[in-house]
Structure 1
Amino acid sequence: MGLLDYLRKLRGQKKGELRILFLGLDNAGKTTILKSIADEDITRITPTQGFNIKSVVSGGFKLNVWDIGGQRKIRPYWRNYYDNTDVLVYVVDSSDKKRFEETGVEFSELLDEEKLEKVPVLVFANKQDLLSSAPASEVAEGLGLPSLRNRVWQIQPCSAVTGEGIKDGMDWVLKNVSKK
């Protein structure tokens, strides 16, 4: 543990604040979901070339959300953001069945990370407004969620474009993290 890690640990998290990490492959809808949560315009979203940070107040908590780009070349840097994560939100493009294996591999690697070991996981099965989307149950099976025994998790079907399901997912986050 380096000096910076030690200072972060000493500082701790302020009461009523949560650090939420949004991860997933590129084009899954992470930024659109984040902007929807923040009640921002979602008509002009560009691929995240690094990360976005937003603080949103919801349910009496200040949510500090880190939205990290999902392009292949950026994924090795995800591990730099794991410290002090209270909730991992993994976003899947439910309509991009060609990339289900790739997203499953990335998700599995996240679950194996020591710094994320006890972190609750919300999976947004995004783009449910598209006819080609797999149902959330199929996404859950593909990610191996039913076999997770040592972690609190939830899968939430949603559409970042219509907003459907996003509030339900965030309500789950607040309910499960407030139990900590």
Structure 2
Amino acid sequence: MMGLIFAKLWNLFSKQEHKVIIVGLDNAGKTTILYQFLMNEVVHTSPTIGSNVEEIFVKNTHFLMWDIGGQESLRSSWNTYYSNTEFIILVVDSIDRERLAITKEELYRMLAHEDLRKAAVLIFANKQDMKGCMTAAEISKYLTLSSIKDHPWHIQSCCALTGEGLCQGLEWMTSRVGVR
């Protein structure tokens, strides 16, 4: 009992950061999601060259979120951000059926990387407001998420422009903090 009380107090007063990388192909909505988390509003963005980093606090949990550019020329440098990463947020453009194979390739390349062996994965199926978009279930099946056994994962439908679904994704992440 005393240990439980101490653990809860420690969590309240410790300012431990949890590193998050936000990845996905260009134009998936990564930066829009980051700034929805930060300011709860849509910010006009341009393609990210390199990265954006912001601190997000959710229920006494401190996330350091790295939004990494998704253009083809930048993807080979994603691994420079992997060290000490606890969470991967993979943003999928639910309209972009043509490039879903590339997203799948990038996902499994990341999951095979030594620095990400303990990382949990949140997949945002973004742009659910668009006509003809793939559902989270369709994306999950295409990405064969059920075959991922060594990383906790969750897929969440969302719309970065309205913020719909984003809180549920963050709630899943906060529920995973400290779970190994």
TM-score by length of 1: 0.89
2:66 alignment partner in structure 1:
66
1:98 alignment partner in structure 2:
98
Deviation at 1:40, TM superposition (A): 5.2
Question: Residue 20 of structure 1 aligns to a residue in which SS?
Answer: strand
* Counterpart residue identity of residue 60, structure 2: G
Contact 2:20 2:87 in 1 (8 A): yes
* Mapped partners of 2:73, 2:83: distance in 1: 21
1:9 alignment partner in structure 2:
none
* Alignment of 1:127 onto 2:123: no
1:139 alignment partner in structure 2:
139
Structure 1 segments of 4 or more deviating over 4 A? Answer: none
Question: Residue 122 of structure 1 aligns to a residue in which SS?
Answer: strand
* Counterpart residue identity of residue 78, structure 1: W
* Mapped partners of 1:44, 1:29: distance in 2: 11
Map 1:2-13 → 2, pairs under 5 A: none
Q: Alpha-carbon deviations, 1:115-147, whole Å to 9, x = none? A: 111210000000001112100011111111111
Contact 2:88 2:120 in 1 (8 A): yes
Deviation at 1:43, TM superposition (A): 4.0
Contact 1:92 1:125 in 2 (8 A): yes
* Mapped partners of 2:178, 2:137: distance in 1: 26
Contact 2:95 2:127 in 1 (8 A): yes
Q: Alpha-carbon deviations, 1:146-166, whole Å to 9, x = none? A: 111121000000000111000
Q: Alpha-carbon deviations, 1:71-109, whole Å to 9, x = none? A: 000001100000000111111001111111111111111
* Mapped partners of 2:61, 2:109: distance in 1: 29
- What is the alpha-carbon root mean square deviation over aligned residues? 1.2
2:166 alignment partner in structure 1:
166
Contact 1:87 1:177 in 2 (8 A): no
* Mapped partners of 2:149, 2:174: distance in 1: 21
* Mapped partners of 1:90, 1:132: distance in 2: 21
* Counterpart residue identity of residue 83, structure 2: D
Q: Gaps spanning 5+ residues in structure 1: where?
A: 1-13
* Counterpart residue identity of residue 167, structure 1: C
TM-score by length of 2: 0.89
Question: Residue 109 of structure 2 aligns to a residue in which SS?
Answer: helix
Alignment identity in percent? 40
